[in-house]
Amino acid sequence: MSLLNFRSYKLAVEFAKRCERFRCPYVHRDQLTRASLSVALNLAEGSAKQSAKERARFYSTSLASLRECQTIFEVLGLDQNSELANLTSQLGAHLYKLTKACQRMSTEKSRDLIPRPRRKSEVESSTPDDDDSSLL
């Protein structure tokens, strides 16, 4: 996946830039800067992973970092109608959907790899051609 076409990544980069300019006490600013940068970095790294399960893990970490930023904003009393709060909510929705989609893909893929147990009626009605023992 190209990062140029990855809308969630673009939102995360914009979010990180706005967080860098956000005025707050140093102790909060340092944590906010690291957490907001983590959102974009985990999206970028996750997008390079081959399996849906790995992508889901990185996207989930990205969402957790965003939640950390939201907590800092809440502690500092950020106006919920501000542009930064709206960007945060929009990015949160993107990250949540990405994470859930990858988790769903991962679960579906693992289900496809696990042989489905045969029902008793299928076993009883199987013909010799359907029987696995004929392949031995």
**pLDDT tens-digit map of 81-96:** 899 999 999 999 999 9
* pLDDT over threshold 50, residue 136: no
pLDDT computed for residue 135 by the predictor:
31
Q: Say how far apart CA 84 and CA 48 lie, in whole Å.
A: 28
Is the CATH number of domain 3-114 1.20.1440.60?
Answer: yes
128: three-class secondary structure by DSSP: coil
pLDDT computed for residue 11 by the predictor:
96
Mean pLDDT confidence for 53-59: 93
Please tell me the pTM assigned to this model.
Answer: 0.76
| Bigger pLDDT: 125 vs 60 | 60
Mean pLDDT confidence for 45-65: 93
Spans of all domains in the chain: 3-114
Q: Say how far apart CA 134 and CA 4 lie, in whole Å.
A: 53
